[in-house]
Structure 1
Amino acid sequence: MALKIGIDVGGTFTDFVVTRDDAEPAIYKSLSTPSDPSIAVVNGLTDIAASMHPPLSLEAFAPTIDTIVHGTTVTTNATLTGTGAKCGLLTTEGVRDALEMRRGIREEQYNNRYTNVKPLVPRYLRAGIKGRLDRNGRETAPLDLDSVRKAIDLFRQEGVQAVSICFMNSFANPAHEQAAAELVRAEMPGVYLSVSTDLLPSIRFYERVSTTALNSYVGPKLNHYLDQLVGRLKGIGFKGLLLIMQSNGGVITPQLAREKAALTLLSGPAGGPGAGLFYVRPHGQNKCITTDMGGTSFEASVAVDAPMIKNDGEIARHKIALPMLDIHTIGAGGGSIGWLDEGGMLRMGPQSAGADPGPACYSKGGTLPATTDANVVLGYLDPGFFAGGKMQLDVAAARQAIEEHIAKPMGLSVEEAAAGMYRVACNNMAQGVREVTIKRGFDPREFPFIPAGGAGPIHSCLICEELEIPLQIVPRESSVLCAFGMLMSELKHDFVRTFVSRFEGIDWPQLKTIIDEMAAEGARQLVEERIPEARRRYDVKLDCRYIKQYHEVSFLVPRELIDRRDTAAIARAFHAEHNRLYGYSLEQENTPIEIINVRVQAIGVTDKPAYREEAWAGTDAAHALKGQRAVYIPETKAFKEIPVYDGHRLRFGNRVDGPAMIEQETTAIFVSASYDCAVDALGSFVLFQKGREDLVQSCVKETKETVS
């Protein structure tokens, strides 16, 4: 029986999903320990061991674990809070300020007060080195190794912890970077080193230097954390396989994560989109919007057949040009603090109470009103059943915080202020969903909505009303969806090479050679990870654009089209993707197309947790009824006594009409007056707009068969 554990470290809670070959996934949560996240990991494993039948000690339980897949926010938090390593940069003479000048584009065009983001490497630690390559990689001036030595002396004097190396046009010839790297390794053996051609050997200097600097900035932090984590796991007797989640939705070994720390910058939420697809497939769907509302942040993403990938993005306004899932994050979580702006308008977040001191109702010293406080006042959370009764919520403290900071200044009752906080928070999250749907050319009304995170299903009905989404699917594991998704992730390694060519003049032998070289490197890494050849796959993508365009469109190209040299078919695929993204193509105008980059993703297929479908249990949900309580109904803007159901007792086919509450140990689901709910074969709670039973045929088909 292979025992696998997915672990997602969040700002407030650390989530655990435990799977065995013959058992349903088990869910656990532990309060995060921001000072050392590995403590929360061990605390959670201790709780899991104690829950075994019979209970086990941690030392007896750890050796039975086959695999741990771990998503971490260590690098993300270091970047967001500006607490990364002290860094130095070696770059081409004359361009050391590119890191600060960036693209020269004002992010907020009409905001004259908007200042530039502070560069990750201060100017005095950015060293310009003589030596030059042209765009084809030919040396026009030799590398000045004496300048490199002087810079190294400065770095040593200043206590630099990490060094980045990024020279102009090095993507075409890495010789200068490798020579400088060899010298740095010899002179500063303990320093963390990032070389741009090892990390991102592609065109566009600013994106490359920013990504390399980010890698160095977060590398020592991640190294330290992995040392702590691996040490603690070893100390309790864990001998299985540890894998680290990366931003592209795949997993990698800790060693590769150490070398390329920037791959983990969006590792935390990366498991969610793949898990979302798993839960919509029983409903005949191949696409979904997956959201994750935790204690600190709210993430939204779209998946169509597979999670949507983008080749660059930003974190804390710093550019990163590595493949990552297209996930939009905003500061809207259960701990998001309510406040009044200069004009007296109610705002929610992005400031968060986090896990410590937490919302006022946690009774841990927090005095500011947070989203969770509003949920308690509105009746969405049972104060005596939070985290399954392990934690009592203080309703009086929640009411006092809302009254003092929101209700009295606005001249409202506590209930009205709480309802306002709830609506503003939901509106913020709806806007986050628009960022990944409407702005990407998708209509959110056509997608099932997956609300995940402990707080997500409380807010999902109002979000979906705002976006006119008729179908929601709340998995039983929704509170730990990202951790569950991690267990379904493949091993993935991304490679990119710049190959500039017009379609009509492609050097096919050279293109094939580049692809084969990247695939061979991917195969080498998969061999090290013990993935047999039959379970390896290599996906090829081209980054193309119309002549005179600036940005490229990345799209999947079947290898057989390249082997057949089928330019026309590749062009049609490009036109189609361009049309999907931007609403037009220039196919009719016969506008020339050019390739800029070639990408290969090496994929190692892993074993997925088994999941058994439930037996049909009929529509009657009366057996799961726990009682009633007064809950705020947004449609009527009034409180009403509504039924409360035990989510753990609801089974396939059971029907719950809104408004109602469904409670599980780790989450609560609010079914508003506009929605009804049915339980599907996987045990998920499927919320659909009243009268839209056509959306949930898989949940009602047994009824029809029984009646006939």
Structure 2
Amino acid sequence: MIRLGVDVGGTFTDLILIHEETGQSWVHKVPSTPSDPSEAVIRGVTEICETAGIQPSEIDQFFHGTTVATNIVLEHNGANVGMITTEGFRDILHIARHKRPYNFSLYQDLPWQKYPLIARRHRLVVPERVSADGSVLIPLDEEKTREQVRKLKEAKVDAIAVCFMFSFKNPAHENRVKEIIQEEFPEAYLSVSNEILPQYREYERFSTVALNAFIGPKTSRYIKRLKDTLIEMGVDTGVHLMQSNGGIATAEVAVEKPISLLLSGPVAGLIGGIKAAKNSGFDNVITLDIGGTSADIGVAPNGEMRMRHLLDTRIGQYNAMVPMVDIDTIGAGGGSIAYVDEGGIFRVGPQSAGAAPGPACYNQGGTVPTSTDANVILGRIHPESRLAGSMQIVPELSYQAFDEHIASKLNMTTVDAAAGALKIMTHNMVNAIEMNSVRKGYDPRDFTLVAAGGAGPLFSCDIAEELNIPFVVVPPYPGITAAMGLLATDIAYEKVNTLWASLTHPDVPKIASVIERLETESIAALKADGIADDQIMLRRVCDCRYAGQGYELRVDAPDGEMNEEWVKEVIQRFHQVHEREYASQFPDQEVVAINVRVIGVGLVKSDKEQAFVNQPKENFSANAYPAYPVYFWIRDQLQKVKTPFINREDVPVGTTLSGPAVIQQKDSTTLLPPDCTARFDVYGNIVIDIRKKIEKKFEIFASISN
């Protein structure tokens, strides 16, 4: 079987091709094409197939991660959207939850008002009303509905969102409006709330459905164009796209519900990091994926991805109440700009030099200092290095940028300024990891740090030392970890329904009937994608809370027959989750299930683990490589140490290296500090042991305290 993973980033499009029968793999990077991301994908597919000596038609599985949907939201360039909603609820999207980003500012732009997903003139109402129990209070006025749809057609909107009150209890009115729109305005992209999010909380539901309509036309056109072009090339296996929930969706499902793609790329990076760590024998994982602009941080206890609370799932400032893996992103990357602010404080990021003009050393017009320039000054990126395999750097420009913007202003040497910039950036990432681990009840000392992205392996050992993390795992191709993650997941769809039923005093047949219906829908969706019965797996989830609480927690429910014992087990699991989240539980309180969910999983990923195939250099010796001066922090002092620069592809599997060393490859550079050892395992991972370095740090602290 030949499997291809393609991840589209802001700067590069990454590809990995695996031939499972031979155990061979190929990686490739091409510049992204923001105006039409499919151009870079097609070019990358063509070139990697040529390199591997295969025809595109030989590809058996095609997996894709994309930032298209996310970029539409962040750049505010989505569709011209209209809305049909219940009379009296036209301004829910404007009012939102009355939350103000800045509590004491009299003059502030609320993002959902400054950049509305749907202009007020296009939010039209019709007479209809369904009660909270699903009964019809006011019948749908079909004639008025046709009139409003015609107005939206005259206004030349691209998409229409349909959102009625309590339609998750009774979708009849929304379904009839959908039929009318298809009769009157069939070319409009449709986003209907009972199909997108049949769940309570009116603002979040309205926002999610509007957001789906906002990104729908552009995203669906991109997916269809990519799919058609691949078919012309002979790739008829279908396009499978990474979703925010960590599962894969077919192109057809992604076209109908593009909002599920909003965290496509970062989630694939977390999955790739989990797989790399698992191959090396580590279960508890913290992934750090550092690119050119940002760093994505994920925490996976026992190798399991955590899901965000549905009221915290946002893109930009817009609520998107769809399942999302819990990943934090901060402005820290290779292009992060170092500067002295107006108060004289030395800062790094979140502003970035981006890909153009990029860091000063790129010699593409950039004049401000960046973290990449700091690594050049400290010798961690050698002047003869070619970034991404082809870009020649100019170190003199890095020195000039730090001299002019940092060193001269703070009366320090250029080297100290560069070291300070990396210290600040490291501290920012340490804080972000602590926010995502320690403050959520996890001890980083029990985890392994996976260094991904082009810049991740440069910072990973320093970050691990600060957090007392004993091991760092660097995957075979750190810069394309997200593309690798695409090949390590399955098709997954999540069906949800608002239940609002007591578990303490349960109506078991009612609960069972709703879950069974969701299971039937999940199985039907997977079979429509061609998944066989023996490849289908179902998971049940209940969103529970104590009676009187305002927010619920996500609880995995057991398999098997749904009876009173099953309900008692759900209650017990909820108490445990509440204890974990809030350090307290209340066994005597009534427990309510607000929503029930069924996650249908279609098993498509390969469980065949691939040993790393490389052609190492005969009689390999680290001492045979040229050594250059590199700055390291040793016993809390910045010291210059002669360090060998080693090509990763030359190192045989099973080799152990002692630091210091710099390990170079096309897509990344790994920094191995003094007092650390690196082992190259059979899966191509570099497993770095930094326990000795941590011990020496504590020895320094002990000597100071004495």
Same fold (TM over 0.5): yes
Give the CA deviation at 1:504. 2.8
Give the CA deviation at 1:293. 1.0
Q: Does 1:189 align with 2:190?
A: no
Give the CA deviation at 1:604. 0.5
Give the CA deviation at 1:304. 2.5
Give the CA deviation at 1:410. 3.3
1:287 to 276, 279, 284: 284
Helix, strand or coil at the partner of 2:504: helix
Q: Does 1:628 align with 2:623?
A: no
Trace 1:559-638 onto structure 2 (pairs within 5 A): 559-560=559-560, 562-563=562-563, 565-587=565-587, 590-608=588-606, 610-613=608-611, 622=621, 625-635=624-634, 636-638=637-639
Q: What's 1:675 paired with?
A: 676
Aligned 8 A contact 1:624 1:645 in 2: no
Q: Does 1:269 align with 2:257?
A: no
Cα distance in 2 for residues equivalent to 1:128 and 1:521: 31
Relative to structure 1, the CA distance from residue 148 to residue 382 in structure 2 (aligned partners, 3 Å threshold; closer, same or farther) is farther
Which digits, 9 at most, give the CA deviation of each residue in 1:411-457, with x for residues without a partner?
Answer: 33332222222222222222222232123221222111111111111
* Percent identical residues: 35
Helix, strand or coil at the partner of 1:47: helix
Q: What's 1:16 paired with?
A: 15
Cα distance in 2 for residues equivalent to 1:454 and 1:615: 21
Cα distance in 2 for residues equivalent to 1:343 and 1:693: 35
Trace 1:421-440 onto structure 2 (pairs within 5 A): 421-440=421-440
Cα distance in 2 for residues equivalent to 1:72 and 1:191: 24
Q: What's 1:641 paired with?
A: 642
TM-score, normalised with respect to structure 1: 0.91
Q: What's 2:25 paired with?
A: 25
1:155 to 148, 152, 157: 152
Relative to structure 1, the CA distance from residue 585 to residue 229 in structure 2 (aligned partners, 3 Å threshold; closer, same or farther) is same
Q: What's 1:133 paired with?
A: 130
- State the AA in 1 paired with 2:621: A
Aligned 8 A contact 2:23 2:613 in 1: no
Q: Does 1:84 align with 2:85?
A: no
- State the AA in 1 paired with 2:132: R
Trace 1:463-478 onto structure 2 (pairs within 5 A): 463-478=463-478
Trace 1:309-328 onto structure 2 (pairs within 5 A): 309-312=307-310, 313-328=313-328
Cα distance in 2 for residues equivalent to 1:578 and 1:592: 13
2:64 to 56, 70, 77: 70
Helix, strand or coil at the partner of 2:555: strand
Relative to structure 1, the CA distance from residue 366 to residue 488 in structure 2 (aligned partners, 3 Å threshold; closer, same or farther) is same
Mean Cα displacement is larger for which, 263-272 or 88-97? Answer: 88-97
Q: What's 2:95 paired with?
A: 101
Relative to structure 1, the CA distance from residue 615 to residue 320 in structure 2 (aligned partners, 3 Å threshold; closer, same or farther) is closer
Aligned 8 A contact 2:491 2:602 in 1: yes
Give the CA deviation at 1:691. 3.0
Give the CA deviation at 1:687. 1.5
Q: What's 1:699 paired with?
A: none
Q: What's 2:111 paired with?
A: 117
Cα distance in 2 for residues equivalent to 1:111 and 1:291: 35
Aligned 8 A contact 1:280 1:288 in 2: yes
Q: What's 2:140 paired with?
A: 143
Give the CA deviation at 1:388. 6.0
Give the CA deviation at 1:693. 12
Q: Does 1:520 align with 2:520?
A: yes
Relative to structure 1, the CA distance from residue 93 to residue 615 in structure 2 (aligned partners, 3 Å threshold; closer, same or farther) is closer
Give the CA deviation at 1:296. 2.2
Q: Does 1:686 align with 2:683?
A: no
Helix, strand or coil at the partner of 1:229: helix
- State the AA in 1 paired with 2:546: Y
- State the AA in 1 paired with 2:397: A
Relative to structure 1, the CA distance from residue 625 to residue 116 in structure 2 (aligned partners, 3 Å threshold; closer, same or farther) is farther
Relative to structure 1, the CA distance from residue 624 to residue 144 in structure 2 (aligned partners, 3 Å threshold; closer, same or farther) is farther
Cα distance in 1 for residues equivalent to 2:567 and 2:446: 33
Aligned 8 A contact 2:335 2:352 in 1: yes
Cα distance in 2 for residues equivalent to 1:614 and 1:189: 52
Give the CA deviation at 1:563. 4.2
Cα distance in 2 for residues equivalent to 1:374 and 1:151: 59
Q: What's 1:705 paired with?
A: none
Cα distance in 1 for residues equivalent to 2:309 and 2:171: 22
Trace 1:219-368 onto structure 2 (pairs within 5 A): 219-305=216-302, 306-312=304-310, 313-368=313-368
Poorly superposed stretches of 4+, deviation over 6 Å: 614-617
Relative to structure 1, the CA distance from residue 196 to residue 615 in structure 2 (aligned partners, 3 Å threshold; closer, same or farther) is closer
Return 5+ residue gaps in structure 2 as ranges.
696-706
Cα distance in 1 for residues equivalent to 2:96 and 2:529: 38
- State the AA in 1 paired with 2:643: I
Aligned-residue CA RMSD (Å):
2.4
1:218 to 215, 219, 238: 215
Q: What's 2:699 paired with?
A: none
Aligned 8 A contact 2:288 2:451 in 1: yes
Aligned 8 A contact 2:26 2:52 in 1: no
TM-score, normalised with respect to structure 2: 0.92
- State the AA in 1 paired with 2:244: S
Give the CA deviation at 1:76. 0.6
- State the AA in 2 paired with 1:204: R
Mean Cα displacement is larger for which, 272-281 or 73-82? Answer: 272-281
- State the AA in 2 paired with 1:602: G
Give the CA deviation at 1:623. 5.2
Aligned 8 A contact 1:441 1:582 in 2: no
Relative to structure 1, the CA distance from residue 62 to residue 336 in structure 2 (aligned partners, 3 Å threshold; closer, same or farther) is same
Helix, strand or coil at the partner of 1:300: strand
Relative to structure 1, the CA distance from residue 85 to residue 638 in structure 2 (aligned partners, 3 Å threshold; closer, same or farther) is farther
Which digits, 9 at most, give the CA deviation of each residue in 1:525-574, with x for residues without a partner?
Answer: 21122211111000000000011111111111112262464332221111
Cα distance in 2 for residues equivalent to 1:672 and 1:536: 46
Return 5+ residue gaps in structure 1 as ranges.
695-708
Q: What's 2:394 paired with?
A: 394
Mean Cα displacement is larger for which, 677-686 or 364-373? Answer: 364-373
Cα distance in 2 for residues equivalent to 1:367 and 1:229: 38
Cα distance in 1 for residues equivalent to 2:138 and 2:215: 33
Q: Does 1:175 align with 2:172?
A: yes
Which digits, 9 at most, give the CA deviation of each residue in 1:153-208, with x for residues without a partner?
Answer: 33233331111111111110011111222222222211111011101101111111
Give the CA deviation at 1:469. 1.7
Give the CA deviation at 1:381. 1.7
Give the CA deviation at 1:674. 5.1
Aligned 8 A contact 2:238 2:251 in 1: no
